[in-house]
Each structure stands twice: as structure tokens, then as C-alpha cells.
Amino acid sequence: MSRVIHPIEEESYRRLRARLDTSHLPPLTRAVVERVVHCAADLDYATDLVMDEGDLEKAHAALHAGAPVVVDVEMVGAGITRRETVCRLGDAVAGPGLTRSAHGIRLAHEQVGPGALWVIGNAPTALEELLTLDAAPALVIGLPVGFVGAVESKAALRESGLPAVSNVSEKGGSAVASAALNALLYHPTSHPEEKL
């Protein structure tokens, strides 16, 4: 994918790299860390994020081969500007023991099947629901935010063994979740040494 990088973004990354040394990180991990830190202006994400370079390489290949991208809320999808996303929250209904967010994930799974990239930045219950499904994801970006269930759902994601990007703390949100996906989307397929 070819994209024009605005001078403000270039300067922002220059300042980020002056304050945070990411040169020791593998290419895709570095791309995700830098884009999330850039998006949130929060250097603490550098030590809060958890991911595996091998998982990112496979997810990067799947994404660029056209794997579907599923989001838990439209706000996450709005942040992914160069790729269509699937969001079924608008069709979902809450029920006994099932939040609307969880039902949206269920509906999306029925639609896309295995091999999708899942980007969850809002509801811990959406991530919890995904973990109950046989989704066989290419990657789960699990960065829901909140004081109730967020830490626990992300810990469960890491314990699941699924290929994932998560973080340890309560923070997260739609913007950082879409930023993590965009890092993979914007990262070149033929010149991995490129930094933006």
C-alpha cells in the first residue's frame, strides 16, 4: 500500500523516537508500538503492550492477502481508514447473560468464519465472547478499555494462546485498537525496513 505521509506525522514520529528508543524492537512490533504510542501520545504503551513478532508476521501476510477485519464498534472501524471492516453491533441485541457487544461478535463470527483479524477496542465482553468461539483468528487485537473486565479479558486473551496484541493495564480504547491494526496495514510488504 502506498500512502502519502504528512509532514506533521513525520515530525511527530521524529519527536516520539527522540523520547523513546524503539530501535531494538523487531520491525512489526516496532510499528505497532510506535503507532499506538503516537496515537495516544502515551509512552507507557511501550512497556504495556504484549505481542509476538511471529504472530504479527503471519497476521500481516493474512491482512495483505485480504483477510476480513472485524471490529467490535463502529468507532474502531472509523479509525481504520484504508480497509473495509465488519461490525455487527448495529444488528445485535442484549439478552440474559449476553451483552449487545458480545452478540455483535457472535453475529460477525457467523458472517466471516475463520481467519479474520479481530480488532476489539471498546467492550471487554466482546473480547470475552470471541474467546468462547472457534474463530481461528489470524490475529486478535484485544485492547478494550475500562475498570471492569478490561484487564481480565486481556489476560484471558494472552492465556488463550491465540495470536494477539494486547496490553496489561486498564487502558486501551477504539483509537489505540485501530492504530495497532493500521500499523500492520501501513507496514510495507516488500520493504520491511521502512519505519512509518
**pLDDT tens, per residue, the chain with 196 residues:** 467 778 888 888 888 999 999 999 999 999 999 999 999 999 999 999 999 999 999 999 999 999 999 999 999 999 998 899 999 999 999 999 899 999 999 999 999 999 999 999 999 999 999 999 999 999 999 999 999 999 999 999 999 999 999 999 999 999 999 999 999 999 987 544 444 4
* Distance of alpha carbon 13 from alpha carbon 152, whole angstroms: 32
**What type of residue sits at position 124?**
P
What angle, rounded to 10 degrees, do the helices at 124-132 and 100-112 form?
40
Return the percentage of the chain with pLDDT > 70, whole number.
95
Grid coordinates of 112: 466471516
Domains parsed from the chain with CATH numbers: 7-186 (3.40.50.10230)
- pLDDT of res. 9: 84
Contact 184, 32 (CB under 8 A): yes
pLDDT tens-digit readout, 1-33: 467 778 888 888 888 999 999 999 999 999 999
- First-residue to last-residue Cα distance in the chain: 12
Q: What is the pLDDT of residue 127?
A: 97
Give the residue numbers marked as catalytic.
38
Task: Give the dihedral of Cα atoms 158, 164, 167, 171; nearest 10 deg.
Answer: -120
At 2 the pLDDT is 64
